[in-house]
């Protein structure tokens, strides 16, 4: 014969008991940062079509200049203010991502000029960030954009783009 013992425990006491047992372990659980996964595509065919004259010069080289040109082409468009009026305004698709990439670019150029970062590592970082930005243009990025908006330093934005985004090819 099995005997089952039942003990009446109020909910507040159970909560207190649970919190006390967790605090006794001495382990503080740190929330892991969210990792974003997006589908990636090779952009070589698009980059081949861009000439050096179209892309212009960039301190980090021709490949970065072509990717910046492609970023501008894909993320921005000109729209007429009023039909028949020659004035236009520039509309940015996914402005949070676009502005973050532009801020990071300026930050990296300044840190190379100040010799805080070497040219090779800054170029590699910006290349990876541009790859991410070009591949997520058509993806659902609401969570990613919220993560960008919650960050307030360029270094944390760089970490988000380079460490917390996986492109699946």
Instruction: Give residue-wise pLDDT tens across range 121-133.
Output: 999 999 999 999 9
- Is the pLDDT at 19 greater than 60? The verdict is no
Terminal Cα distance for the chain, rounded: 61
Q: To the nearest whole number, what is the mean pLDDT of the chain? A: 87
| Rounded mean pLDDT, 97-114 | 98
- Is the pLDDT at 6 greater than 60? The verdict is no
Task: Tell me the C-alpha distance between 40 and 165, whole Å.
Answer: 11
Three-state secondary-structure class, residue 154: helix
Q: pTM of the prediction?
A: 0.80
pLDDT at residue 86 in the model: 84
pLDDT at residue 115 in the model: 94
Three-state secondary-structure class, residue 103: helix
């Amino acid at each position: 014969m099995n005997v089952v013992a039942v003990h009446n425990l109020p909910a507040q006491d159970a909560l207190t008991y649970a919190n006390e047992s967790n605090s006794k372990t001495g382990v503080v659980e740190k929330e892991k940062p969210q990792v974003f996964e997006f589908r990636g595509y090779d952009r070589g065919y698009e980059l081949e079509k861009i000439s050096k004259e179209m892309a212009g010069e960039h301190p980090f080289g021709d490949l970065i200049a072509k990717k910046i040109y492609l970023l501008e082409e894909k993320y921005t468009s000109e729209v007429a203010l009023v039909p028949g009026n020659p004035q236009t305004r520039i509309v940015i698709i996914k402005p949070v991502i676009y502005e973050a990439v532009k801020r990071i670019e300026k930050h990296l150029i300044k840190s190379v000029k100040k010799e805080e970062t070497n040219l090779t590592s800054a170029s590699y970082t910006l290349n990876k960030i541009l790859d991410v930005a070009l591949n997520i243009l058509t993806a659902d990025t609401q969570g990613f954009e919220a993560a960008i908006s919650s960050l307030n330093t360029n270094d944390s934005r760089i970490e988000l783009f380079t460490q917390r985004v996986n492109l699946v090819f």
